[in-house]
Amino acid sequence: MTPSEEVKEPVEPHTEPTVEESAPDDAQPRVVDKRRFARWLEGEALAEPPSEDVPRYPSYVEELHARLRLSEERTQALERAFQEARERMREEIEAFRERQTRLLEERVEQRVAQIVGPLLDVFDELKRAVRAAEQTENAQALLEGMRAILTLFERRLQHCGITVLAPQNQPFDPSLHEAVEAVEVEPERDGLVLDVLEPGYRLGETTLIRPARVRVGRARREVTVEATASAEGEGPRLESG
């Protein structure tokens, strides 16, 4: 059945009102109208023809439309949930980044405090040495005070995990030393550090703070030249006439 088709009721033949035969003779005759319009007035439900303005579809098409509407509603709900989850994730990532930045800054500050803290004693000793030098003329006492400060400074560096690199008479290591000058030496001293111009510093076992600037020995290279002279015979003589 197409949407344009109308539900048609079977056409009943036109009948005139009749008088029931079973009624007694003295009773009033009752008229029974068997026409379709009369039955509708008495309450018999008749199917109304569908409206031509509202399209009607088969049941499976209407079911597909209902499923489509339900899918659209679910899709919209999922989109809203996704947007909310993405916003929450962005806020959590931003908060995590801020926490990590603060933790890193705190660790750096703690590490700097661990390194600088022991050196403050050396700084205080240097100030005392300057004040003592201004008030005394004893150079020997001032020299001993400066040596004590240097010893204290070296101990503080070792406490911080810093090693002083002073490779005197040791093999040259390009990963720890910087060769400033090469000096010709005997073959047995080839590749040795002759002088340490500036000591180097290393933190731990892997972090090089500054390489040691050194003077390196280099063996002399002797070049032998074989003299090949042919002294056979004498050269031509010049005779004077």
Q: What is the pLDDT of residues 159-201, one digit of tens each?
A: 888 888 888 889 999 999 999 999 998 888 898 999 999 888 8
211 or 12: which leads in pLDDT:
211
Q: Is the pLDDT of residue 16 over 80?
A: no
Asked if 1 contacts 53 with a C-beta cutoff of 8 angstroms, the reply is no
Residue 209: alpha-carbon gap to chain centroid:
28
| Cα–Cα distance, 5 to 52 (Å, whole number) | 9
Predicted structure pTM score = 0.45
Beta bridge partners, 215, equal: 181, 195
Cβ partners under 8 Å of residue 179, min gap 6:
172, 214, 215, 216
Average pLDDT of the chain, as a whole number: 75
Q: Is the pLDDT of residue 92 over 80?
A: yes
Highest-scoring range by mean pLDDT, 70-84, 102-116, 140-154: 70-84
Q: Which domains does the chain have, with CATH numbers?
A: 161-219 (2.30.22.10)
Asked if 202 contacts 209 with a C-beta cutoff of 8 angstroms, the reply is yes
| Cα–Cα distance, 176 to 178 (Å, whole number) | 7
Q: How far is the CA of 127 from the CAs of 65, 120, 134, 145, 235, in angstroms?
A: 90, 11, 11, 11, 86
For the segment 122-139, the average pLDDT, to the nearest whole number, is 80
The pLDDT of residue 45 is 46
